[in-house]
Amino acid sequence: QKEVEQDPGPLSVPEGAIVSLNCTYSNSAFQYFMWYRQYSRKGPELLMYTYSSGNKEDGRFTAQVDKSSKYISLFIRDSQPSDSATYLCAMSSRDDKIIFGKGTRLHILP
Amino acid sequence: SAVISQKPSRDICQRGTSLTIQCQVDSQVTMMFWYRQQPGQSLTLIATANQGSEATYESGFVIDKFPISRPNLTFSTLTVSNMSPEDSSIYLCSVAPNSNQPQHFGDGTRLSIL
C-alpha cells in the first residue's frame, strides 16, 4: 500500500460547480497536511495547510482532514476555468520530509 | 512567501555531460530542498541542502550523481552528473523558513537528455 493515494483524474466539471478532491494515506504519523496547485510548466503553489482534523476555509477553498479515517479533501466552490490545474495533496510527519500524492488533473469547463 | 528563482528553466543536454541548476531565494531561509518530478509521478525528494555541511540524501540518491552546494541561506545548487536519458525530468527547488513549516517551490528546471 502506498503511503499516499490520489486519483490522477482527469476530473472535468462545469464552471460554477463544487469540486471535491481527495487523498487517503496510511501513515498515522503524518501530522500536517497540505494542498498544492500546479499549473502547466510551473512549480507547485501552496494553497492550504493544516495541522488538525476538521475544516479550514480560505475564500473559495476548504481543506478537510479526518485523521481517524486517514482521509483529506479539498473543496473548491464556484469553480472557475482558472482553477484548471493539477492539485497535489501532501503530508508530513514533522521531519521535514513531505510525501506527495501523484496529483489530480482538474478541468473546469466554461 | 519567498520568491524563488531557478536557472536554467530548461535545457537539453548530451548523454554523459553534467548540468548545474541554481536556486536563489529573495530572503534567508533555514531549509532548502531538491526534488525530482517525473511525468505522471509524484514529487520525489532528492536531498535536503544543509548550509555549511554536506547535504542529506534520500534513499536511491547519492552525492556522486547529485552533488549539492549550499554556501549561504539564500542560494543552493544541484548538479546532475554524467547524465543519461533516465535523468530527463523536472528538478525543483523548495524552501521553508524554518523546520516543519510548509515548503514553497520554484518553477523548476525541465531537463531533457539526448
Q: Using one digit for the tens of pLDDT, what is the confidence trace for A11-26?
A: 999 999 999 999 999 9
pLDDT at A94 over 90: no
pLDDT at A95 over 90: no
The DSSP element (H or E) to which A64 belongs, if any, is strand A61-66
B19-32 burial by CB neighbour count: b if 16+ within 10 A, else e?
Answer: bebbbebeeebebb
How distant is the Cα of A43 from the closest Cα of chain B, in angstroms?
4
Cβ neighbors of B105 (< 8 A, separation 6 or more) are A36, A43, A44, A45, B4, B35, B92, B93, B94
Q: pLDDT grade, residue B19 (50/70/90)?
A: very high
- The pLDDT of A55-78, averaged and rounded, is 96
Instruction: Say if CB A36 and CB A90 are below 8 A apart.
Output: yes
- Collapse the DSSP code of A83 into the 3-class scheme (helix H, G, I; strand E, B; otherwise coil) and give the result: helix
Q: Using one digit for the tens of pLDDT, what is the confidence trace for A27-43?
A: 988 989 999 999 999 99
pLDDT at B3 over 80: yes
Query: How is residue B86 annotated by DSSP?
Result: G
Closest C-alpha among B64, B74, B65 to residue B22:
B74
| Mean pLDDT score across all residues of chain B | 94
Q: Using one digit for the tens of pLDDT, what is the confidence trace for A36-66?
A: 999 999 999 999 999 888 999 999 999 999 9
Provide the pLDDT for residue B64: 97
Provide the pLDDT for residue A93: 85
- Residues of chain B in contact with residue A98, where contact means CB-CB under 8 angstroms, are 43, 45, 103
- Residues of chain A in contact with residue B6, where contact means CB-CB under 8 angstroms, are 43
Q: How far apart are CA B113 and CA B74, in angstroms?
A: 29
Provide the pLDDT for residue A1: 64
Provide the pLDDT for residue B52: 83
pLDDT at B87 over 90: yes
Provide the pLDDT for residue A97: 86
- Residues of chain B in contact with residue A100, where contact means CB-CB under 8 angstroms, are 42-43
Give the Cβ contact number of residue A2 at 10 Å: 12
Q: pLDDT grade, residue B101 (50/70/90)?
A: confident
Instruction: Say if CB A19 and CB A75 are below 8 A apart.
Output: yes
Tell me if A96 and B40 make a contact (CB, 8 A cut-off).
no
Q: How far apart are CA A84 and CA B53, in angstroms?
A: 41
Q: pLDDT grade, residue B53 (50/70/90)?
A: confident
